[in-house]
Amino acid sequence: MGLIRPIPCHNRVMLNTQREDFLRFLIFLGYVISLSIATWWISGTEFLITELEFGFGPEIDRITSGQEMHVAARMPVVPYLLVTLSLGINGHLALLIAKNLLVQSLLFIVLRSWWQIRELRNVSSVLFLYLLLFPQLGRHGFTLIPEEGYLIALVAFLFHGVIKAPEFQKLLDFLPYALGCAIAFLTKGSMLLLAPLFCLLFFLRTRNTKVLILFVATVGTAMSLWGAVNLEKTGRFAVTTVYTGYEMWKGNNPQTLDVYPETTLDRLSNKVPQILEGEDPWEWSRRLQSEVYTYWIEHPLVTAKLFAVRFYKTFLAVTAVASGDSPRLEVGQARDLLKTVGVVFMIALRCLLWPAIRHAVWTLFRTQTSGEIRTSAICYLCFIVGFSAPFLIAFSYERQLMPMVMPTVIYLLHRLIHERLFQNIHSPNTGLKSSMS
């Protein structure tokens, strides 16, 4: 018995931490699988990925059948990822689970990092419980399409990297985030501004030229490759898709206010000017953009009203949308209940978003503010502007706003931990205040 030695204190702490991490991982794993099953059940039907809506189905069908690309209809990440996953997976449910386990692993990395800060454990647990129960995050974050099912976790991962960047020791630590920026750009056209902006935010947080070169090289390579593919396949070097003008036109025309924001702008799809004879898709897109610019100049008051409506929808609205036209939600009061719960969570989101924005703006004008707090505030405000700009120009739906949620929570947690550290440093009990004065 004399050979039995007690486990050292630091080893016990490490063992307990590992157990806690494993337990959280199991809980999160169950959460992802459960939400995937719920998403599959609500859809109410089984279908092939070549039948997906919003142009994804035809793009996937083109890829799987080996046809040449003639029109850049969608950014490549989502179609190619679904095609790759489907090579070894059959069935809608299995594909949903596989996709969500892959994508939501980024979210687990973020949650785990903040859970490990003991000073914030209670606060972070409450905020993360709010996030995990948020109906709209579940609804839009766990579907196969559209792109928000990928961007919610990816954007959270990238902004988490921005906040944590000063703690990174090696250039290699930044590589996953540089690749994440490139993937974000290749996921959705609205990331055309945000992906390069993230490059600058990482540089702002580190002041390291090597970090900037890494990000610019990675994102620049992604843009160049996509532009080269468009040039080879469609005859035009472009880093977006041919539907940029189409989306702008739907949000800026004489009929927009007749349907928006009460209902979807897809009702105007049959009113969009068609491609003229002898006109290629890129020329059509550019013509629609030109019509939008002309409309802004000729109708400044209506343009201002449209901007106000989009601003309200993006930053103030608390209405919630139930899950599409699913027949599953027609049973009893399921749809109304989901919308009511969604409104409550949207109100909570606004109660987090605006204090975060107010604090970030206020921080910029404070004279006694550390560089760490100031740069994080600048990064958060730049993120909000860069993320929301495309939607303020065209239009925004509930799902498009969801990637803003996690970065807002991350910024608030970052602010809270630094305020507590500041209070501890300047506490009379520490004896530091007098020695620093």
Q: Does residue 380 sit within a domain?
A: yes
What is the torsional sign of CA 272, 277, 283, 287? negative
Q: Does residue 253 sit within a domain?
A: no
**Residues 237, 238, 243, 245, Cα dihedral to 10°:** -100
What the block records as the tokens of 144 is: 């196969």
- Structurally, the chain folds into a number of domains equal to 1
Task: Write the DSSP string, 23-48.
Answer: HHHHHHHHHHHHHHHHHHHHH-S---
Q: Does residue 255 sit within a domain?
A: no
Q: pLDDT tens digits for 246-293?
A: 999 999 999 999 988 888 888 888 889 999 988 889 999 999 999 999
Q: Does residue 40 sit within a domain?
A: yes
50-75 mean pLDDT: 86
With 50 as the cut, is the pLDDT of residue 405 above it?
Answer: yes
3-15 mean pLDDT: 56
pLDDT of residue 435: 32
Percent of the chain exceeding pLDDT 70 equals 89
Q: Does residue 279 sit within a domain?
A: no
CB burial class (10 A; 0-12, 13-18, 19+) of residue 226?
buried
What the block records as the tokens of 360 is: 């970030």
Q: What is the amino acid identity at position 193?
A: L
Q: pLDDT tens digits for 365-404?
A: 887 777 888 999 999 999 999 999 999 999 988 888 999 9
pLDDT of residue 425: 47
Q: What is the amino acid identity at position 348?
A: A
Q: pLDDT tens digits for 205-231?
A: 999 999 999 999 999 999 999 999 999
With 60 as the cut, is the pLDDT of residue 309 above it?
Answer: yes
pLDDT of residue 431: 41
With 60 as the cut, is the pLDDT of residue 22 above it?
Answer: yes
Q: How far apart are CA 245 and CA 290, in angstroms?
A: 8
With 50 as the cut, is the pLDDT of residue 295 above it?
Answer: yes
Q: Does residue 432 sit within a domain?
A: no
Integer angstrom CA distances of residue 174 from 157, 196, 309, 407: 12, 15, 38, 18
DSSP state of 266: G
Q: pLDDT tens digits for 319-339?
A: 876 555 555 655 556 667 777
H/E run at residue 415: helix 405-425
pLDDT of residue 54: 84
pLDDT of residue 362: 93
pLDDT of residue 134: 87
157-171 mean pLDDT: 96
Residue 360 domain boundaries: 14-241+299-424
pLDDT of residue 321: 65
pLDDT band at 43 (very low <50, low <70, confident <90, very high): confident
Q: Does residue 285 sit within a domain?
A: no
What the block records as the tokens of 191 is: 């990331």
pLDDT band at 428 (very low <50, low <70, confident <90, very high): low
* Higher-confidence position of 368 and 194: 194
Across the chain, mean pLDDT equals 86
pLDDT of residue 304: 96
Task: Write the DSSP string, 326-393.
Answer: -GGGGSTTHHHHHHHHHHHHHHHHHHHHHHHHHHHHHHHH-SS--HHHHHHHHHHHHHHHHHHHHHHH
Percent of the chain exceeding pLDDT 90 equals 55
Q: pLDDT tens digits for 64-118?
A: 888 877 778 899 999 999 999 999 888 889 999 999 999 999 999 999 888 877 7
Q: Does residue 263 sit within a domain?
A: no
